[in-house]
Amino acid sequence: MVDERGTHDHDHDHDHDLTFQPNIEDSEPGHYELMTYAIRELLLAKDHLTPEELRVAQEKVESLENSDGSKVIAKAWTDPAYKKRLLDDGNKALAELGIDAGAAKMTVVENTEDVHNVVVCTLCSCYPRAVLGMPPDWYRSKSYRSRVVIEPRAVLEEFGTVLPADMTVRVHDSLADLRYLVIPKRPDGTEDWSEEQLASIVTRDTMVGVTNPSAS
């Protein structure tokens, strides 16, 4: 874990995965990547899309497999006993819902009024795929991996997440044998919502900790 002062609670003398993900910024973009970038910039320049609309659309495409994670969070929000079990032993609690988290330990952290958690893997792209599917490009990028441990608030603001000045930000660095899942803070105004309704507002980015769910 890294706090806002940039101190770790573990060293980096360990193996993450057998092969490291390439730094996306260091790779030459292909033809289709360049075309996609050009079209995106044109849509933004012509005000056909806002940056937020683009981010939400991209997240939906990239997180088609995160329904299991959304259901886990919705249950944690509505079942205090299950949330306690999830925080105590993530792997075991996930198994209750038929989710196999694999050999890696799944550590679950909770956002509160005073603490905001965000997840990264500084050396490669260790990611809770069992509940979130494949990691998005930005999570694997050198920029995110290097900056979020140094200036987490600035990075979060780029995702549209502005936190109170007195809130503690904790950055959790994943390992080959350790994954993190964030329980985002439940939005106000959802007290009477069903688990299905709650699951619909839980996205991949909220479970990584770069955004917060919204009831609107």
Please give the positions annotated as active site. Answer: 121, 124-126
Q: How far is CA 73 from CA 54, 137, 150, in A?
A: 25, 23, 28
Tokens 């809770």 belong to 128
**Helices 67-78 and 80-88: crossing angle, nearest 10°?**
120
Q: At residue 206, what is the residue type?
A: T
Q: Which residues contact 95 (CB under 8 A, 6 or more apart)?
A: 101
Q: In the block, which residue shows the tokens 């507002």?
A: 201
Residues with Cβ within 8 Å of residue 113, at least 6 apart in sequence: 185
- Strand 115-120 to 168-173 pairing: parallel
Which sign, positive or negative, has the C-alpha torsion 66, 120, 159, 192?
Answer: positive
Residue 125, both tokens: 């792209």
Tell me the CA end-to-end span of the chain in Å, nearest whole number.
32
Distance CA 80, CA 88 (A): 12
